[in-house]
Structure 1
Amino acid sequence: QGASIFELIALPLFIFTGTIMQRTDAGRDLFEVTKAWTGSIPNSLGVATIAACGIFAAISGSSVATAATVGLVAIPLLLEEGYGERRAGGFVAGGGTLGIIIPPSIPLILYGVITETSIGQLFIGGVVPGIIMMSLFTLYVVLSRPRVMITHSISLEERMAITRRSLGVVLLPVVIIVAIYTGVFTPTEVGALSVLYVCALGFAQKKLSFADLKAAAVVATGATTMLFMLIVFGQYFAHFLTFEQVPQAIAAAIIENASGIWAVTLMIMAYIVLGMFLESAAMLLISIPIFFPVAEQLGMDPIVFGIFAAISMEIAQISPPIGVNLFTIHGISKIDLWKLARGALPFLLIQIGMLYLVYLVPEIVLWLPNSMK
């Protein structure tokens, strides 16, 4: 029954959207347009990489898809411009994690189904934290050394021409967020519209064929099957834990021995350890039945804890030895995993800081959901 809930239909739809976009050179289009508008900023190619990751994240909802799609385009150019393997790989690994927090987020769909929290409100709740995190990532990239400056300039006319070519891709995240925020469509309906949108865009620009569509469907089916199996086993695991009263016992132990910020610190440490050994979706399905009661005891709103859990999953994506983003980038670039882990470390520290910010200032999460129609 856990895999038959209506909201879960959004999962394959957003996964399919991401796999179609990977077939249409969307990563190249996004990188070109962000590169065109960041040319005068120090480390501008790095900034363009973060921006492209943020926009693609708002289309695919997947951290791995974001890192792979943008990385294929960005890493060769970053290396060519002299950023070095550590920074080039680290920028993409860190930027790729935005796929988990910026809507539409596949992990937030899973969380919403498990905890019976509004997926639409979770999506909108991730907007402001996602923007803050993307801004902090960008600030780090700008300040990182050695600084690399682009020597050639680009005219306003050229920038506008590049933007017009990529406008269809750039507008999709805006359409998704506005449609959910205004309540015009449910997240599941937005997922269906996203598939139709990217198909129409790909065929209109002659960047998508029926063979590409078939290949994208095969990849999406495989990813969806794996997630649904995890959901089914996760539901059984949750029922077992509840029957044995494990979450209640852990919640009581944490609350008795720590409170407030210290209890949150214990949860963060637990998530970091879990992220070192588990893939993020598995970590979510195992941890939510345990930590959700703890969050309730701490007075955390379910939407706030959903964003907290999503950021924790971001940390898992770039935490060695299992960090999936690190392995994804290693696979497409052959950059040493240790260099990738070092390059991603500043982004991991920013994310840990964001966990405390979300707990201490929950209004940054709840402001937009509370104003939804």
Structure 2
Amino acid sequence: MGEVWLGILLVVVLFALLGSGVWVAFSLFGVGLVAMELFTSSPVGRVLATSVWGASNSWALAALPLFIWMGEILFRSRLSEDLFGGLAPWMGRMPGRLMHVNILGCSIFAAVSGSSAATAATIGRMSLPELTRRGYDETMSIGTLAGSGTLGLLIPPSIILIVYGVAIEESIARLFVAGILPGLVLVVLFMGYVALWSTLHPERTPPRDPAVPLRQRIWQSRRLIPVVLLIVGVIGSIYVGIASPTDAAAVGVFLALLLSWLSGTLTRKSFADGLMGATRTSCMIAFILAGASFLTSAMGFTGIPRMLAEWIATQGLSTYGLLAALTVFFVVLGCFLDGISLVVLTTAVILPVVEAAGIDRIWFGIYLVVVVEMSQITPPVGFNLFVLQGLTGRNILQVAKAALPFFCILVLGVVLLVAFPQLALWLPDLMAQMQN
């Protein structure tokens, strides 16, 4: 019973620190110190130094700042304009027409960015004014961007999958490959919903543009060639096993700089801004990981993860019941924490429970990312909602209402992932067979 009260006390301390505005990393360090000082006799300084060094001295972590830098470079390039110009001619005859450009544009940019916020901001900055000018329904335009913007968390290279892989010491390459099929399934679900909605509400969709000849559409598609080559260079090299995620990230940075230079957007200012933006974000994530590593060590000394695993085991929950409870838990917690903080904060405690239930760690990582995607468009602290609020000038409730159908589609995505786990496991298994 003492462990229960200890767990409650530490949760209260954590939320008190977070609620008072203390940085997430400092909050994690603070909770770890309280646990170590009050409830163990272990040397706090030695555990702190060892855990922080272990979290920082990781070769897998080297891919993180490189992928973030690649996204920062492309964020300042003309990539979004080229995506819109290359995709729009092919969408004109589909139900929903140019609203599909939001979904496909976000899915393609997600494959070279790795950031949900950067994906939503980059595509939205260009597409929303154009869709509004052409008379598309504003609520649906915002909703497609809110939902598909979350794909930046799942479609590789995903920053949050790198963080998860480092936290549990799992292959980042396998996690990347595992995210491809679930990401494509979500793209199909989003586009299917838009097509159905447009068919049921034809009066809220502008008339079709004049038909574009096939030759002209193919000519316009040449603008997609650079980004396709970038995706193939980064993801393809990982998939076929000729490059590690860190090597592929370095290639991605080089190709992104080359693409930005060829498009005329690489200047001394854009280079410096991208480098500093990547540095700030990388340091923030690395600091959070160090705090989470120390908290993980502290939790091990207090015995809370073992106690929690034993308690859940006594509840007799089925695998589906456990996943349903975890889904609600993560979505609620995601209303108050960003995705990366959520992953590093909960992994140490939840993973022993998940493994005891016989759930695959790779599959659980993909499931966790999809649930975190849901939290990104859940009020009051859904980060993508704030991004879109800044882009549109609408209040947060209007943006949340527009995002609600796509939240429900993400719930459907979780259901499909649970019902068909091979969606996340087939490609990693295939990659392992090819390498053997």
Query: What's the TM-score, normalizing by structure 1?
Result: 0.96
- Aligned equivalents of 1:252, 1:353: Cα separation in 2: 30
Q: Which amino acid aligns with 1:223?
A: T
Of 49, 59, 81, which aligns to 2:134?
Answer: 81
The structure 1 residue matched to 2:247, chosen from 189, 209, 214, is: 189
Query: What are the superposed Cα offsets for residues 67-109 of structure 1, whole Å, 9 maximum, x if unpaired?
Result: 0000001111222233333222111111110011100000000
The yes-or-no answer on 1:127 pairing with 2:186 is: no
Amino acid at match of 2:269: A
Instruction: Give the distance between the partners of 1:357 and 1:56, measured in 2 at CA.
Output: 24
Name the residue aligned to 1:365: 424
Alignment of 1:266 onto 2:319: no
After superposition, residues 96-107 of structure 1 pair within 5 angstroms as 96-107=149-160
Q: 1:329 corresponds to which residue?
A: 388
Residue 196 of structure 1: how far off its partner (Å): 0.2
Distance 1:246 1:81 in 2: 57
Q: Is the 8 A contact 2:327 2:371 kept in 1?
A: yes
Paired with 1:293 and 1:144, the residues of 2 have a C-alpha distance of 42
Which structure 2 segments of 5+ residues have no match?
1-52
Match of 1:69 among 109, 122, 126: 122
SS at match of 1:292: helix
Write the mapping of 1:268-347 to structure 2, written as runs, cut at 5 A.
268-347=327-406
Give the distance between the partners of 2:379 and 2:56, measured in 1 at CA. 31
- 1:3 deviation in Å? 2.0
How far apart in 2 are the matches of 1:370 and 1:276?
Answer: 34
Alpha-carbon shift at residue 166 of structure 1 (Å): 2.9
Q: How does 1:202-281 map to 2 (within 5 A)?
A: 202-257=260-315, 258-281=317-340
Letter in 2 for 1:38: M
* Residues 25-52 of structure 1: CA deviation (Å, up to 9, x unaligned): 2112112212121111011111111000
Instruction: Name the amino acid aligned to 1:315.
Output: M
- Corresponding residue to 2:76 among 7, 23, 31: 23
Percent of aligned pairs sharing the same letter: 35
| Partner SS for 1:369 | helix
- The CA distance in 2 between the partners of 1:339 and 1:319, in whole Å, is 12
Q: Displacement of 1:171 after TM fit? A: 2.6
Letter in 2 for 1:165: R
The answer (yes or no) to whether the contact 2:235–2:248 under 8 Å persists in 1 is no
Q: Which runs of 5+ in 1 are unaligned?
A: none
| 1:174-216 CA distance string (max 9 Å, x none) | 3322111110000001000000001112212323223211111
Residues 23, 14 of structure 1: alpha-carbon distance in 2 compared, 3 angstrom cutoff:
same
Matches of 1:229 and 1:324 in 2, distance apart?
Answer: 20
Q: Are residues 1:49 and 2:102 paired?
A: yes
Q: Residue 44 of structure 1 aligns to a residue in which SS?
A: coil
Provide Cα deviations, 1:130-189, integer angstroms capped at 9, x if missing partner: 111111111111112434243332222222222113310133223322111110000001
Aligned-pair distance for 1:121?
A: 0.2
Q: Is the 8 A contact 2:81 2:126 kept in 1?
A: yes
Q: Aligned AA for 2:83?
A: L
Q: CA RMSD in A?
A: 1.4
- Specify the alignment match of 1:136 in structure 2: 189
What is the number of residues matched between the two proteins? Answer: 373
Q: SS state of the match for residue 98, structure 2?
A: helix
- One-letter amino acid matched to 1:83: Y
Query: Would you say the 8 A contact 1:85–1:339 is kept in 2?
Result: no
Q: Does 1:174 align with 2:232?
A: yes
TM (norm. structure 2) is 0.83
The runs of at least 4 aligned residues of structure 1 exceeding 4 Å deviation read none
User: In 2 relative to 1, CA 248–357 (structure 1 residues): closer, same or farther, beyond 3 Å?
Assistant: farther
**Residue 210 (structure 2) aligns with:** 152
Q: How does 1:111-122 map to 2 (within 5 A)?
A: 111-122=164-175
What is the rounded CA distance, in whole Å, between the counterparts of 2:407 and 2:59 in structure 1?
Answer: 34
The aligned amino acid for 1:150 is R
SS in 2 for 1:185: coil
Contact 2:115–2:158, Cα closer than 8 Å, also in 1 = yes
1:34-45 counterparts in 2 under 5 A?
34-45=87-98
Change over 3 Å in CA distance of 1:86–1:249 after alignment to 2: farther
